[in-house]
Amino acid sequence: MSTDLTEEQKPELETAAHSTGSGLIGRARQTEVWRSVFRHPPLNSPRGRALQSFSNVFLHLYPVKVPVRVLRWRYSLRLGFIAIVLFTVLVVTGVYLMFFYSPTPAAAYVDMVQLKTGIGFGQLVRNVHRWSAHLMVLVVVVHLVRVFYAGAYKRPRQFNWVLGMALLLITLGFSFTGYLLPWDQLSYWAVTVGTNMVNYVPLVGKYVRDILLGGKQISGATLQRFYALHVAILPLSLTLILPVHIWRVRKDGFAVERGSTGALDPKACPGRKASTAALATAAQNGDGDGRRVRLLGVVDRESVTQEEQVTDDTVFAWPHLMVRHVVATLGVCATVLALGVWFQAPLKDIANPNLTPEPAKAPWYFEGLQELLSRFNPLVAGILLPGAAVMSLLALPYIDRNPATEARNRKVAISLFSMFLGLAVVLTVIGFAFRGPGWQWQWPWKHSYIEW
């Protein structure tokens, strides 16, 4: 029993012992309840900060220490983290919307109207859900682009790029299935145009489309299917793959800095001893991965202790990375709330299969494809080009074997990708903003046919 111990003995026996702070919080930290929850020593020592990470399941997602450069906003623009925050916002708002939504043609549209008029926070939550969804597609795409230009898909992170591609496709699936759910003219025709593209797939296209729609055209069966995909299949898939994606960032090591050949480049750390630099380079040449953790494995304990003092460029994830993540979370929440307050999610007339709007546009991220289809043979524009694009993106880390990450040493990869990206952006912008009835050219400032 701890009551048998003197006050002096307690801190020695319990790692959970906290500093003897004064005031209410200080006294609360001395209580048995507090110590049973927070079992780490005070956070004013390196040991305390490390033990806090070890003893907390949530903080355990983070490495105990991260390289200083990871803290900088410019390092990754925090895009991956922002995407996760947006996904969380979407889960929370989506569950709220589920309380008031039934996926039947008779009820779905009425539920949308009801959200506007009769349900507390209904329209606000729907606005936030919609703008977060669009933002998430955008952020995930920009994340991919940034990772490409940083060369962060290269060995040993090849497979994480593939996982990222899977997450991108799931995100698009989320957005596309969610697009149908309001069951208004916008959603009905956007999904009609979107699923018609599947028709161009040779041999199996028609069957795939039938399975997707649950029939020859969009109906109650489609709504049911898209709903099940949207609230069950896709969230499960994403929740399964996302932790692997994050985990592998840690296991494969943080991406190297642009312009550096490796995390342990002696030029990057002038204070490093020459012998360690040599070791580091050797480790890097061995498996293309020069993380210090590997290095720890090959040198004896004493020399590690010495090197730590000279070359440590890491800081504790708590508080430095975590505070930055909390701030990023607040920033994302503030952005989507402000968007939701000022901009209303669109709701047109109830879906009507006999009244085609002019122009009928796919969701914005497929409008580049739609634009392409309007210019070329459907087999080329609908299948060969996008298929080749997705396939080469998936296989990119295995095609591009060049280990360099600096732009000047990977001119071919960067030129090709930039051309592809430029084309995709231009086509999407044209389809999104510059097309009117009959897919004729339309200056958006004369008459806008922009739909979100």
Partner 1 sequence: MPVDQHEERQLDPPWLQRSLDRHYAWGLVFMAVLVVSYTVYQWREPHLRADAAGTQVVNSTSQGRDIFASRCATCHGDNATGGQTAPTLNSKQFLEAASDPVIRNIVSSGIPGTAMPTWSIDFGGAMTQQQIDAVVSYLRSLEPKAPSIPNWRQAAQVK
Examine residue 341 and tell whether it contacts partner 1 (CB under 8 A).
Answer: yes
Q: Does 320 bind partner 1 (CB under 8 A)?
A: yes
Structure tokens at 416: 């090709």
Stretch that binds partner 1, among 235-243, 276-284, 301-309, 317-325 (CB under 8 A): 317-325
Q: Minimal distance in Å, beta carbon 182 to partner 1?
A: 14
| Residue found under tokens 């952005």 | 335
Token pair listed for 400: 């591009």
> Among 59, 71, 169, 268, which residue sits at the site for partner 1 (rule: CB under 8 A)?
71
Cα separation, 348 vs 449, in Å, equals 14
Task: For residue 138, give Cα distances in angstroms to 44, 168, 216, 310.
Answer: 40, 10, 31, 42
143/83 Cα distance (integer angstroms): 9
Residue 59 binds to partner 1 (criterion: CB under 8 A): no
Q: How far is the CB of 113 from partner 1 (least distance, A)?
A: 6
Instruction: Rule CB under 8 A: say whether 19 interacts with partner 1.
Output: yes
Q: Does 36 bind partner 1 (CB under 8 A)?
A: no
CB of 115 to partner 1, least distance (A): 9
Distance, CA of 295 to CA of 282 (rounded, Å): 10
Which span sits near partner 1 by CB under 8 A: 132-140, 148-156, 334-342, 420-428?
Answer: 334-342
The residues near 85 (Cβ < 8 Å, ≥ 6 apart) are 328, 329, 332, 333
Between CA 196 and CA 216 the distance in angstroms is 11
* Residue of the chain from 243, 286, 331, 422 that contacts partner 1 (CB under 8 A): 331
Options 228, 334, 425, 426; binder of partner 1; rule CB under 8 A:
334
Shortest distance, CB of residue 446 to partner 1, whole angstroms?
Answer: 28
Stretch that binds partner 1, among 52-60, 226-234, 323-331, 377-385 (CB under 8 A): 323-331
Measure the CA–CA gap between 383 and 198, rounded to whole angstroms: 9
Q: Does residue 28 touch partner 1 according to CB under 8 A?
A: no
Among 338, 416, 425, 426, binds partner 1 (CB under 8 A): 338
Least distance CB 28 / partner 1 (angstroms): 12
105-134: contacts with partner 1 (CB under 8 A): 106-107, 110, 113, 116-117, 123-124
| Cα(120)–Cα(134) distance, integer angstroms | 23
CA distance 127 to 130: 5
Amino acid sitting at position 231: V
With respect to partner 1, which residue has the nearer C-beta, 232 or 323?
323
333: which residues sit within 8 A by CB, 6+ positions away?
Answer: 85, 89
What is the rounded CA–CA span in Å between residue 316 and residue 323? 11
Q: Is 30 in the site for partner 1 (CB under 8 A)?
A: no
CA nearest neighbour of 419 among 408, 427, 430: 427
Token pair for 243? 């932790």
CA distances (Å), origin 257, targets 159, 201, 396: 20, 41, 20
DSSP state of 346: P
Question: Which residue's CB is nearer to partner 1, number 120 or number 438?
Answer: 120
Considering only 43, 197, 218, 362, the residue that binds partner 1 (CB under 8 A) is 43
- With contacts defined by CB under 8 A, how many residues of the chain interact with partner 1? 40
Site residues for partner 1, 183-212, by CB under 8 A, read none
What does the buried/exposed string (b/e) look like for 189-224 if buried means 16 or more CB atoms within 10 Å of the residue's CB?
Answer: bbbbbbbbbbebbeeebeeebeebbbeeebeeebbe
Residue 310 touching partner 1 (CB under 8 A): no
Candidate list 23, 202, 270, 297; residue touching partner 1; CB under 8 A: 23
Q: How far is the CB of 219 from partner 1 (least distance, A)?
A: 16
Residue 263's closest CA among 252, 80, 125? 252
Q: Which of 25, 228, 232, 298 binds partner 1 (CB under 8 A)?
A: 25
- Burial (0-12, 13-18, 19+ Cβ within 10 Å), 363: buried
Determine, following the binding rule CB under 8 A, whether residue 346 of this chain makes contact with partner 1: no
Q: How far is the CB of 432 from partner 1 (least distance, A)?
A: 27
Q: CB of 319: closest distance to partner 1 in angstroms?
A: 7
Contact pick of 326, 379, 391, 419 for partner 1 (by CB under 8 A):
326
33 binds partner 1 (CB under 8 A): no
Q: Using the minimum distance from each CB to partner 1, give the nearer residue, 78 or 291.
A: 78
Tell which residue, 175, 176, 178, 217, has the closest CA to residue 196: 217
Residue 15 Cβ vs partner 1, minimum distance, rounded to whole Å: 18
Q: Which is nearer to partner 1, 331 or 437 (CB)?
A: 331
Note the residues at the interface with partner 1 (CB under 8 A). 19, 21-23, 25-26, 42-46, 49, 68, 71, 106-107, 110, 113, 116-117, 123-124, 315-316, 319-320, 323-324, 326-327, 330-331, 333-334, 337-338, 340-342, 344
